[in-house]
Structure 1
């Protein structure tokens, strides 16, 4: 249907999504279908379905990213077809995000006039309940609060939340198994070693390391459900004396010393004090972080989809060099840095595929809004990794021993380490 609401909606969306940058683009590279069934746009292009006038009202009040996100999370705007292609098409023409959408006076008059005829004028709608309140840094659980069954369907049966290793993997489960084992090998774990997991999640690394390598793991968790899940799995596997979940506060880690500290997947690991990590490590102990990073250069903290729905305002990504410098300033010696950007993108796509494949179940378990938040986050993050807008690096560091050596751990079982005593 070339006529109807869609024919009036498309030019309006072009203005409020692109602002003054629209002069560089003839039309949005998407197809739009309106609530009356009419549609407009390139045939075969990803389709944005505007299901309710309220979606347009959200875009009028918040032009650009946040208006789109709120409408999508609320279910007033939908995407048909390939979510990755749809987001990629919009991102290629939208402003990068450092500045707000700018509208001229003429644009504003045209938009209001069209919105009136479409019945979309009114007060600003409340944000979806999944959004963090403005000015708040999010609660401890953030988006991770939710039933374990939801994450088992999205992440896979082991619920591993780190970056998979796809070099020789045939599927996600294989990639995650290889990744967890790769981390334990690079930490040079030995039987009886003490390990601190900064972001234990649902316990995939902690349980594997305890069962396969005989280590003792303290795992910090964001939610009570994560802790209960880890305890139950540890008891069932006979590992209750080796795996202990504790609350998210680093103070619960005690005084150490730990032979190894690991932080997988997420900006949360370096919200921890690097000086405190140094104190917790035994001389010769190893630190391994898998950390998302952004490009270097000026960066203005702003309210975005990620800080509004996934991570708090103080969870903004930092450049790799800044992170490495902070670790070195704390007294740790950085021994290696490796790029995982492509591996992480493939992992994100695999999680998104799981979520879409089991969409009905996942939406029932976590709620449709939260499921939409996760799908949007996974798709947007994968595209950002693939384009190089963000990266993921593994950083390995060590606390040198009293003689300046980096490879001898002074805590654990001396016989294994070849030392007379510790």
Structure 2
């Protein structure tokens, strides 16, 4: 068995990737700028129990496979496998061929693979799932995200804008859509490190409250609020959105939270936000979506086990229907898919720039997870396998008044 040829067959015979294996075998075009190096038979054993992308991801995270060149370029070259994975018959054939290797070199599942315990989307399980991803290290996230500490899709005013300019533009776009004005009260659910909260307070004089299930985020954000002198207007609490104050807010922003809610919880989620808004109050929901109704509901196994446990993506049409049924009149919707590809490219570049420090901070396995997942996500947005939508809704008054002008956001 020539290992390189076997791996090349898994990737696809026409994939322009060099494969170099521990047995001295080679496959693929010598001219390719990216290469996959199979360092140990343990990498092949991974493919028996998880043929396709999950097995390859386990081998990469464990250091049993190495990539020469940019991971994004490798994934781009093998896009059909990365986005669609192997068919069931192909999986069975591969497992049979590699069974002797597995018997000699089988390995336990990497420690970084995680499935939170408890009832799906209970408060305790959601807290564990969020902590797994976000309570890694604030310093690590500072290196990856940059000074804005915004871990959601930016909005690029031009293709040459910096990441910081694009994140500021995103926060301002949300503020404009919500019609924020001095004296208003904003609730930002799933607020992350508080970027929207601080923008609303500093740039619009809004009294803003953010809530997050990540203790690390809440502590960092509150310290930054005090450092910027925004304590009179801005606050971030370590709190479940379901436990947020129920008093009437003028506006609510939900930026990157809906992906963690789960399809069966969406009706209650949007209804709870509606209850917290005054008549005429607006909700801006910003989240990753499926580009169409999916044939299967499960998140990609690599993302589900290593990146976003319990995450679930829905098509934007379903989200709009649930928002509408929960008491919101939909006023505007837009797709920012290309902007997220640009955002992820910037995060990938930041990680590479700080690779040595990142590895020292969180370990090489976790750093590899982030390198792989961000490159794969960038490819997904580039190829329209996933999208990013902003949906703006308003809670109309009993007489149907929305407070919107005939055109634009502000009355």
Which TM bucket (shorter chain)? 0.7 to 0.9
Q: After alignment, is 365-374 or 376-385 more displaced?
A: 365-374
Deviation at 1:36, TM superposition (A): 5.7
Show the counterpart of 2:124.
none
CA 1:365–1:279 in structure 2 vs 1: closer, same or farther (change >3 Å)?
Answer: same
SS for the counterpart of 1:159 is coil
Matched, 1:264 2:255: yes
- Over 3 Å counting, the alpha-carbon distance change for 1:267 and 1:123 in structure 2 is farther
1:188 to 179, 191, 194: 179
Q: Distance in 2 between matches of 1:221 and 1:184?
A: 19
Q: Give the whole-Å Cα distance in 1 for the aligned partners of 2:97 and 2:230.
A: 66
Aligned to 2:135: 145
Deviation string 1:357-388 (CA, Å, 9 cap, x unpaired) is: 11111121222222111111111111111111
Aligned length: 390
Aligned twin of 1:397 = 393
Confirm or deny: 8 A CA contact 1:161 1:264 kept in the other structure: no
User: Which residue is equivalent to 1:49?
Assistant: 37
Unaligned runs of at least 5 residues, structure 1: 1-6, 19-24, 409-416
RMSD: 2.5
Q: C-alpha distance in 2, partners of 1:160/1:110?
A: 46
Secondary structure of 1:122's counterpart equals helix
Classify the secondary structure of the residue corresponding to 2:182: coil
CA shift for structure 1 position 89: 1.8
The gaps in structure 2 that reach 5 residues or longer are: 121-127, 405-409
Q: Which residue of 1 aligns with 2:111?
A: 129
Q: Partner of 2:3 in structure 1?
A: 9
Distance 1:95 1:291, change over 3 A: closer
Alignment partners' CA distance in 2, 1:128 and 1:109: 23
| Cα distance change, pair 248–68 in 1 and its aligned pair in 2 (3 A) | farther
- Runs of 4+ aligned residues of structure 1 deviating over 6 Å after TM superposition are none
Per-residue deviation at 1:47? 0.8
Structure 1 position 29 matched with structure 2 position 19: no
TM value normalised by structure 2: 0.87
251 and 265 in structure 1: CA distance in 2 versus 1, 3 angstrom threshold: closer
Please state how far the C-alpha of 1:142 moved relative to its aligned partner: 2.7
Q: CA deviation at 1:301?
A: 3.1
Task: Report the TM-score, using the length of structure 1 for normalisation.
Answer: 0.85
User: Secondary structure of the residue that 1:158 maps to in structure 2?
Assistant: coil
SS of residue paired to 1:385: helix
What is the match of residue 307 of structure 1? 304
Alpha carbons 2:75, 2:82 under 8 Å: kept:
no
Cα pair distance change 1:226/1:345, threshold 3 Å: same
1:225 aligns to what?
216
- Check the 8 A contact 1:164/1:175 in 2, yes or no: yes
Q: Rg bigger for which structure?
A: 1
1:406 corresponds to 2:406: no
Quick one: which of 335, 339, 343 aligns to 2:331?
335
Contact 1:295–1:390 (CA under 8 A) maintained in structure 2: yes
Deviation, structure 1 residue 112: 3.8
